[in-house]
Amino acid sequence: MTDHTPPKGTLRSRAWFARNDKMGFYYRSWLRNRGLPNDQFDGRPVIGICNTWSELTPCNGHFRVIAEHVRHGILEAGGYPLEFPVFSLGETQLRPTAMLYRNLASMDVEEALRANPLDGVVLLMGCDKTTPALLMGASSVDLPTIGVSGGPMLNGWYKGQKIGSGTNTISMSEQLRAGEITIEEFYEAEGAMSRSAGHCMTMGTASTMASMVEALGVGLPQNAAIPAPDARRNELARLAGRRIVQMVKDDIRLSSILTRKSIENAIRTLAAIGGSTNAVVHLLAIAGRIGVPLTLEDFDHLASGIHCLVNLRPSGEHLMEDFYYAGGLPVVMRELIERGLLHGDVPTANGRTLAENVAKAECYNRDVIRTYDAPFKPEAGIAILRGNLCPGGAVIKPSAASPHLMKHTGRTVVFESIEDLHERINDDALDIDEACIMVLKNCGPKGYPGMAEVGNMPLPPKLLRAGVKDMIRISDARMSGTAYGTVVLHVVPEAAAGGPLALVENGDMITLDVPARSLVLHVDDATLSARRAAWVAPPPAADRGYTKLYIDHVLQADKGADFDFLQGSSGAPVARDNH
């Protein structure tokens, strides 16, 4: 029997639907054109289904089905579901980068939630920027909220070998550039890699952020890893629909789940899964919206000493489908809780504590998920670098880097822009060897604009042909969570904002020392001062529209690359009456 127990407090939607006047007639009547009886407005919670489905976002292309399962769950629990679209961010198709529009999508979510008669919301997210965008927008409104990720694709298979989206895209493109595979083989692998609905099946940013949703407690257990085509993904969606109705009745708002403790849990889980460096920027932005103080130093303090337990690409061998069959994220979090590394007492969206959710988690494949005492890679969490080249910090992912390059001094080969890189990188006359350090400028939040995933610069073909597999690369850009290599990212301040990165010249010497958390440019202060006096800022990429708004108001990477005017939570007051 459906439970119609009155919710705690007053439902926001009652300000629209519980009135017997002109505007009450107005609000109810137009919704009744779908054939709804009047008792649909009898006080049951109104739940928004925030859907990022789009044919332009292939990772989210199955969300119509997921939304229907959420809808059924809401109806079964006595709620009234209303689905609505928001801007969908497809990293695979969107130019110049989906990150340019993450903040715009978050504003779309925030204003849709605040302006409409919604008491709670289920967020449907998959492709990597949709997850932080929806969480950022929902954090600023602070309604009861639950997240449902779309799930990863099934494993890719090519010539009897597993291949993973992003990671093998990069490796096979390097093989093509080196002449090791043919263009026909390259084309054939495309279909073999993407063979089902879902997002990247490597531990890229999409899978990382789905893991963060679960680790934060905003999603139900196993949200991170159930494959998109698996019936259990739809079951999870239906259970989320049921649960959000009770969350509204109990007035469990997002701010009661997204706390300092839950964010600390997410940071340590990020390290233990070998997750994407992009999660650093996104977690900083989410924390800024919900009002939780968070800095880059927190990532180094909390995560740098954490062992990587998960043997997944790009850091390892397996893929997300294998991760789920091995037990999924609950196994990882149980390992961390048993060693006192997570706050097990934090509440989660299903009404239980994190410790209760993972207490019975079992591992079925220790090659995929290792124990904390015998980790896949020891102390391989996100590392934060400081030095005169990055006074505001920089990020490196040791689990994806080459051990022999973790402490290295080299001569710089500088590219002033992504266009400069593309123009020169394939030239065999380029003065570069494997000991050099590649430096890319003007690809940060303001400079690209949008801080594109170009930090893992392709290596010169002449070095690839010589067998070189990795070099140190430094930039103010991001890189795909599916990428790998000894890549220093998110240099703050960025070059376009006049950071020291803008002053680096060909032939300068740089020392990277990851154990010492140091990144040093070996140029004296007087020389740097002279270079700064001669430096001219690049012209902005736009003088109108959203891109101008972005350039004018985006914060640096250490602040999450959010807009300066979106920091903090505004809450969800009842909208001003319009009669």
Q: What pLDDT digit, counting tens, does each position of 106-133 carry?
A: 999 999 999 999 999 999 999 999 999 9
Which pLDDT tens digit goes with each residue over 403-423?
999 999 999 999 999 999 999
Question: Does residue 395 register a pLDDT over 50?
Answer: yes
The whole-model pTM stands at 0.95
Question: Does residue 8 register a pLDDT over 70?
Answer: no
Q: Are 472 and 405 in contact (CB under 8 A)?
A: yes
Q: What is the average per-residue pLDDT within 225-231?
A: 98
Question: Does residue 453 register a pLDDT over 90?
Answer: yes
Return the pLDDT at 162: 94
Among candidates 293, 484, 482, 284, which has minimal Cα distance to 393?
Answer: 284
Return the pLDDT at 9: 60
Share of the chain above pLDDT 90, in %: 92
- Of the chain, the end-to-end C-alpha distance in Å amounts to 39
Q: Are 59 and 198 in contact (CB under 8 A)?
A: yes
Domain 383-557 is found in CATH 3.40.50.2000: no
| 1 — pLDDT class (breaks 50, 70, 90) | very low
Q: Are 64 and 150 in contact (CB under 8 A)?
A: no
Mark 438-470 as b/e (b = at least 16 C-beta within 10 Å).
bbbbbbbbbbbbbbbbbbbbbbbbbbbeeeeeb
Q: Which two tokens stand for residue 142?
A: 């602070």
- Ranges for all domains in the chain classified under CATH 3.40.50.2300: 14-154+196-358
Count of alpha carbons within 13 angstroms of residue 240, beta-carbon side: 36
Compute the radius of gyration of the chain from its Cα atoms: 24
Return the pLDDT at 53: 98
Q: What is the average per-residue pLDDT within 28-45?
A: 94
DSSP string across 354-392: HHHHHTT---S-TTTB--TTS-SBTT-S-EEEBSTT-TT
Q: Which two tokens stand for residue 159?
A: 């010539």
Mean pLDDT for the chain overall? 95
Q: Which two tokens stand for residue 187?
A: 């084309």
Biggest CA-to-CA distance, the chain: 79
* Amino acid, res. 405: L
- Which CATH fold would you assign to the domain 14-154+196-358? Rossmann fold (3.40.50)
Give the integer Cα–Cα distance in Å for 286 and 303: 18
Q: What is the average per-residue pLDDT within 227-233?
A: 98
Which pLDDT tens digit goes with each residue over 245-279?
999 999 999 999 999 999 999 999 999 999 999 99
Which pLDDT tens digit goes with each residue over 541-561?
999 999 999 999 999 999 999
Question: Does residue 10 register a pLDDT over 90?
Answer: no
Return the pLDDT at 483: 87
Which pLDDT tens digit goes with each residue over 207-218?
999 999 999 999
Return the pLDDT at 289: 96
Share of the chain above pLDDT 70, in %: 97
Give the integer Cα–Cα distance in Å for 17 and 117: 8
Give the integer Cα–Cα distance in Å for 269 and 334: 10
- Ranges for all domains in the chain classified under CATH 3.50.30.80: 383-557
| 5 — pLDDT class (breaks 50, 70, 90) | very low
| 152 — pLDDT class (breaks 50, 70, 90) | very high
